[in-house]
């Protein structure tokens, strides 16, 4: 806005005008980010030893968004495992048909307390199933894995179902939704392993970095990235 008016004035070179603008914003304490800050790996990501999913309050919907193999599913399943170890029940609505229960067991989950719904590749069915589970209110956490592109109305239905039953829902997917409906949104990106392997057989643990956002934070400065070790 200001940039446009300065450019039209033609009284000062564009570079100087931008410098002025930056200086004014700096004086007012507005954080400045470069355009590629959001996509470039942040080398100074702070380590995070506690999953932010633990803070997802009852009656809310969370969202984990990230590219394939970023660790987003592992993050969600780790929370599922933690809850079942505490004796609670969780549900996994799988739209990929690929969920592998032994991986859950390796995370320490009690499989007999996890309801798995193979919803097929239909986003509509997967959303319907997740809504039913959320609405029942008998599962501590309902994870919807890779439902594909969802309309805002579907997310809204899930949100309402969670609110009504006081249950917690988590949508794990590749593409973020334009509408920020989720109470907690985690953006996940993969990181290469930090440790070099001591063995040629055993792969070292993976890492990912998280950016934690929330509803109502639109327009605010993006949160800093945090680094998480994956199980």
Partner 1 sequence: MTSPAGERSPPTRWAFVWPGEEPSARALAALAEALMSLSPVVCLAPDGVWVEIGGSVGLLGGNGGERAVAEHTRTVAELLQAVHGGNPFLEKGVSPARLGRVPSWGLRPLRSRWSLPPGSQPGVTLTGNTEKTCEKSLEEGFGEEPFSRKVPPRERTASGVRVVVADWPITARLMARAVEAPLLVVAPGRDAKALASLPLEALGASPGAVAYLKQLGVRVAGALAALSPSAVRRRLGREGEDLVRLARAEPAPTPERFTPPEQPTACRELEPPLPPGESLLFVVKGLLDELSIRLAGRGLAVSELRVTLSYEGGIERVEELLLPRPLTTAPPLLAVLRERLVNPMIPPDVARRDEEDVTLPPPRLTCAEVAVVRTARAPRAQLSLLHRQEIVAEQIAELLARLAATLGRERVFAGELVPSHVPEESWRRAELTLSETDDGFVRSDSAHAHAHAHDTEGEVGAAALSPRPSLVFPEPLPLEGDLNPGHEVRWSGGAGVITHVWGPERLRGRWWAAPFDRDYFVVDLEGGGRIWVVQERRSSGLRVQGVFD
- Point out which residues bind partner 1 (CB under 8 A): 67-74, 77, 85, 87, 89, 96-120, 125, 128-129, 132-133, 136-138, 189-193, 197, 199-203, 206-208
DSSP state, 96? S
Least separation in angstroms between residue 20's CB and partner 1 is 39
Tell me which residue of 209, 218, 185 sits closest to 60, measured CA to CA: 185
| Residue 6 or 109 with smaller CB distance to partner 1 | 109
First to last CA, the chain: 46
Q: Which is nearer to partner 1, 56 or 107 (CB)?
A: 107
Nearest distance in Å: CB 105, partner 1: 4
Question: Which CB atom, from 13 or from 97, has the smaller least distance to partner 1?
Answer: 97
For the bound state, the minimum distance from the C-beta of residue 201 to partner 1, rounded and expressed in Å, comes to: 6
CA dist 162 and 181 (Å) reads 12
Cβ of residue 72: shortest distance to partner 1, in angstroms?
A: 6
Q: What is the 3-state secondary structure (H, E, C) of 139-208?
A: CCEEEEECCCCCCHHHHHHHHHHHHHHCCEEEEEECCCCCCCCCCEEEEEEEECCCCCCCCCCCCCCCEE
Nearest approach in angstroms of CB 148 to partner 1 is 14
CB of 211 to partner 1, least distance (A): 15
Token pair recorded at residue 49: 């030893």
127 vs 214, beta carbon nearer partner 1: 127
155 or 230: CB nearest partner 1: 230
User: Rounded CA gap, 64 and 120, in Å?
Assistant: 20
Name which of 215 and 231 has its Cβ closer to partner 1.
Answer: 231
User: Closest by alpha carbon to 115, among 140, 98, 146?
Assistant: 140
């Amino acid at each position: 806005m200001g940039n446009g008016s300065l450019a039209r004035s033609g009284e000062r070179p564009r570079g100087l005008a931008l410098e002025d603008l930056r200086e004014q914003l700096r004086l007012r304490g507005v954080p400045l980010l470069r355009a590629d800050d959001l996509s470039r790996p942040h080398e100074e990501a702070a380590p995070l030893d506690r999953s932010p999913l633990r803070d997802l309050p009852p009656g809310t919907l969370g969202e984990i968004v990230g590219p394939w193999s970023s660790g987003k599913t592992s993050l969600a399943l780790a929370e599922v495992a933690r809850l079942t170890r505490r004796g609670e029940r969780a549900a996994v609505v799988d739209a990929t048909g690929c969920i592998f229960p032994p991986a859950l067991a390796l995370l320490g989950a009690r499989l007999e307390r996890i309801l798995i719904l193979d919803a097929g590749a239909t986003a509509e069915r997967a959303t319907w199933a997740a809504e039913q589970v959320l609405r029942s209110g008998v599962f501590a956490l309902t994870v919807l894995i890779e439902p594909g592109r969802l309309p805002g109305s579907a997310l809204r239905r899930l949100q309402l179902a969670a609110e009504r039953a006081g249950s917690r829902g988590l949508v794990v997917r590749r593409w973020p939704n334009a509408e920020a409906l989720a109470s907690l949104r985690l953006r996940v990106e993969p990181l290469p392993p930090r440790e070099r392997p001591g063995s040629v057989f055993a792969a070292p643990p993976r890492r990912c970095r998280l950016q934690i956002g929330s509803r109502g934070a639109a327009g605010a400065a993006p949160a800093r990235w945090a680094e998480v070790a994956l199980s």
